[in-house]
Structure 1
Amino acid sequence: MTTKELKIAVIGGGSSYTPELIEGIIHQYDELPVRDLFLVDVEAGREKLEIVGALAQRMIEEAGVPIRVHLTTDRKEAIRNADFVTTQIRVGQLDARTRDEKLPLNYNCIGQETTGAGGFAKALRTIPVILDICKEIEALAPNAFLINFTNPAGIVTEAVVKHTHVKSIGLCNLPIGTKMTIANMTNTDVSQVNLEWVGINHLNWTTKIQVDGNDILDEILHKLPGTKGLSVKNIPDFGWDRDFLRSLGALPCGYLRYYYMTDKMLDDELASLEAKGTRAEVVKKLEEELFALYKDPDLSHKPEQLEKRGGAYYSLAAVNLITSIYTNKKDIQTVNVQNNGVLPCLNDDVSVEVNCVIDADGAHPIQIESQPKAHIRGLLQVVKAYEELTVEAAVKGDYDAALQALMVHPLVTSVDTAKPLLDDILHENKKFLPQFA
């Protein structure tokens, strides 16, 4: 087994999530001997970077592992000769997310960070920055793997696949979170839970649930109505209709509530806006509390309050993936990769979120045993068309592609909505979207 000491660059290192990642790297150190950990952020994030970096240093000293932490705003320095580059960036920070969530609500459309018009706006801002990072990886660390956790993760993965030569894998905590929940529901160790995961990021269905080798999908679908806990912190945990689940024949991810329960979700968003603001505004307050904790010179572990932020199992997903590549483990994980025929109902060059075998060469998709039925395939193809158009719009600054992307999305109701909403998005994000100038 290789014993090469590793360099990992974390772009967006000043994120409130970073202590979660540090904890994972520490716990996995025996298998993943990280020597140099570069935390990099933009100048506007310098203060948070220094706070998080100091906490990371204390955590590492407490654990007694020989990892050197480097803090920098020089992205090229961080990337140069890295073995792994992780991205967890938010272009425009939480103020931009607040606009993403509020603007669609003005048009009676879902306002959400990764789904619908809000996710579209985020993608337009994010893709050009990610592609710039990829150019630097190609030049300075051509053998590095890019592990992207930045949302919308599937669209970002697709942009990287189509427009760069970087070895990239997109990551989401939803698959591992679902596995953990099923393990808890069945009082089983998570190692005995296997899922068949079909779809694209934040639009996916679990079509098989095996526990100890037995397929219990029907049992879970029968139990699910009224059951709490199969959602993430930023999505209301509305129960599923029993007849609907039976007819669906698959376990829908939490984000599918935006498509299957649009009216209820929109009403909830509008009520929350009045009562406590958008999710971004709630997160802003949470982050203020977290960074106040992070400043404590006596704190040398990840605080429990970080769980309220969302992103549960982030470090587990990220560190498991990096470790499996480094150790050539050949285990199965659910990640975002190029389709290449795994889902024949989608183009080969698009991103999908499916089970993959992970080894030293990256992620290798496992062929889906039974292809999606019409009721799943139809929604999947429509939202994938939106994603393809969004990548085209973001890369080229193409207004027509942007308009058609919004128009085809199921959560944007008509051209009378799509066009003024697009114009508002472009206006509000003008300084982040030079490609549309």
Structure 2
Amino acid sequence: MPRKIAFLGGGGVRTPLVVFGINESARRLDAEELLLYDIDPERVEVIARLSREVVRRSGGSLRVSVARSPEEAIEGASFVLNSVRVGGIASRAQDERVAIACGYPGQETTGPGGVAMGQRTIPVAIEQARMVEKIAPKAWIINFTNPAGLITQAIMQHSNARVVGICDTPTEMLHRIQTALGASPHEVECDYVGLNHLGWIRKIMLRGEDVMDRVVNDDAILSQLYSAPLFDHDLIRALRLIPTEYLFFYYSRRRALENQRKQGSTRGDQIALMNETLMQSLLQSMAIHDEAGALQSYIDYLNLRSGSYMKLEGEGGSAFDQEIMPEDPFRAATGYHRIALQVMNALCGTEPERVIVNMRNQATIPDIAADDVIETVCRISNDTITALPVDPLPNDVRGLVLAVKAYERAAIQAAISGSLRDLRKAMLLYPPIGEWEPSAELLKLMQWK
């Protein structure tokens, strides 16, 4: 029976990328229709129209429609993609500005910005999951919504919906390692451990040989692993672990803050401007039925956004001062649309695939509770996801992982209780904040409700 796929938050700017991936895999997924829902009806119509042009250009048959309600989108769906931004990009930008003004790096998923984003999003994500549980109980929720690990855990703890959290950060890191080693994906296997936006590579096997020491002692290789010069190479050697990019906001907080203050802007502000420019361009092109021109504007937007990633925080540079290489982002080897399709295809197939996702710990990491969500390598096939065994957490990161997980549990409880005291406790437990007094000012200024 042909599958219907729902997309909650379908008016988002990454939707056409996901449409491309689903259309490309439509036969394998047996996907017939993708139904988009968004609280902004005008915006989702524009994105749907652009998405149809993506399908037309690709020569596919996927039908892209717009739902009038989340219930309409979800009913009968086999997969429910969840990518919502409660409060919009304006709330992100405000959170980041407030964090910087209060002496913390401004970032949407880590630090004070991540706290505010989580509190706004947790109740909405749980409500949507319960809707899926009721209307389409066999459907898988593919959770894109950030902070991905925190939101996935909230859904698992407060609904019976089937959910897996995805993030392209680990797979992007694996791809960069493969490229730096001049190897193909099947020749490299990495041991990854951690939580969402808090993960490390601790072993790299190249054609059966452990090359971790070679990698961490080679400046030329390490320089290729990040989109901006984030980590001092001696830091990586001291840990003998390769951190994913978001550890920059733990290990180099002062530098991140200094770069943001020097630039005088935030990533959220810059993306808000990019988004506004994009929508104006799309509307102008579509007014004269120039769908090809609209698609080119979208491709230029994606190249600008991805090409400027982490430049502001890592270098103090503006997104609009970067030399952006023209590429076809739809054909990129990594990205949210790639990891989402990898998971969906694996769930529909019988051949097991190894994918790093956010899933219930069970007994994978002994230090962490069984019902907590971790980011780890899982075997996915035939409608099941199973976390693979890993070694215990490395001593050098164990304390940080456990502290952040304690914060996540407290943050979910605060969102459920609505208690300001509970939320300030969560912020006290959270290493990027870790103090009681500043939380009062942060919560007063941030758009956390």
Question: Of 227, 230, 233, which residue of structure 2 is paired with 1:238?
Answer: 230
How far the C-alpha of 1:150 sits from its partner, in A, is: 0.7
Question: Of 236, 248, 251, which residue of structure 2 is paired with 1:257?
Answer: 248
Match of 1:380 in 2: 401
Match of 1:12 in 2: 9
How far the C-alpha of 1:96 sits from its partner, in A, is: 0.5
d(CA) in 2 for partners of 1:293, 1:31: 34
**TM-score normalised by L of structure 1:** 0.90
Q: Does 1:60 align with 2:55?
A: yes
Q: Deviations over 1:365-419 (max 9, x none)?
A: 0010x21222110111111111111111112212222111111212115222123
Question: Of 416, 423, 426, which residue of structure 2 is paired with 1:395?
Answer: 416
d(CA) in 2 for partners of 1:160, 1:224: 41
2:202 counterpart SS class: strand
Structure 1, 78-87 or 218-227: larger mean CA deviation = 218-227
Instruction: Output the amino acid matched with 2:2.
Output: E
Structure 1, 27-36 or 70-79: larger mean CA deviation = 27-36
Q: How does 1:79-98 map to 2 (within 5 A)?
A: 79-98=74-93
Q: Deviations over 1:212-261 (max 9, x none)?
A: 222222222112479444335xxx5324232x222212111111111111
User: Percent identity among equivalent residues?
Assistant: 28
1:83 counterpart SS class: strand
2:28 counterpart SS class: coil
Instruction: Output the amino acid matched with 2:238.
Output: S
Superposition misfits of 4+ residues, deviation over 6 angstroms: none
Aligned residues: 415
d(CA) in 2 for partners of 1:170, 1:128: 17
Match of 1:306 in 2: 302
1:256 counterpart SS class: helix
The 8 Å contact of residues 167 and 362 in structure 1, kept in 2 or not, is answered as no
Give the CA RMSD over aligned residues.
1.9
Can you give the 5+ residue segments of structure 1 that lack an aligned partner in the other structure? none
Q: How does 1:14-413 map to 2 (within 5 A)?
A: 14-42=11-39, 45-224=40-219, 227-231=222-226, 237-242=229-234, 244-272=235-263, 274=264, 277-295=265-283, 296=285, 297-299=290-292, 303-310=299-306, 313-368=335-390, 370-413=391-434
Instruction: Output the amino acid matched with 1:298.
Output: E
**TM-score normalised by L of structure 2:** 0.88
The 8 Å contact of residues 23 and 61 in structure 2, kept in 1 or not, is answered as no
d(CA) in 2 for partners of 1:291, 1:195: 40
Match of 2:317 in 1: none
Residues 178 and 109 of structure 1, relative CA distance in 2, 3 Å threshold: same
1:31 counterpart SS class: helix
The 8 Å contact of residues 16 and 290 in structure 1, kept in 2 or not, is answered as no
1:419 counterpart SS class: helix
Residues 226 and 406 of structure 1, relative CA distance in 2, 3 Å threshold: farther
How far the C-alpha of 1:298 sits from its partner, in A, is: 3.2
The 8 Å contact of residues 227 and 239 in structure 1, kept in 2 or not, is answered as no
Larger RCO, structures 1/2 (Cα 8 Å, 6+ apart): 1
Can you give the 5+ residue segments of structure 2 that lack an aligned partner in the other structure? 310-333
d(CA) in 2 for partners of 1:161, 1:225: 42
Residues 209 and 409 of structure 1, relative CA distance in 2, 3 Å threshold: same
Structure 1, 412-421 or 352-361: larger mean CA deviation = 412-421
Instruction: Output the amino acid matched with 2:266.
Output: T
The 8 Å contact of residues 230 and 254 in structure 1, kept in 2 or not, is answered as no
d(CA) in 2 for partners of 1:225, 1:416: 44
d(CA) in 2 for partners of 1:293, 1:224: 42
1:134 counterpart SS class: helix
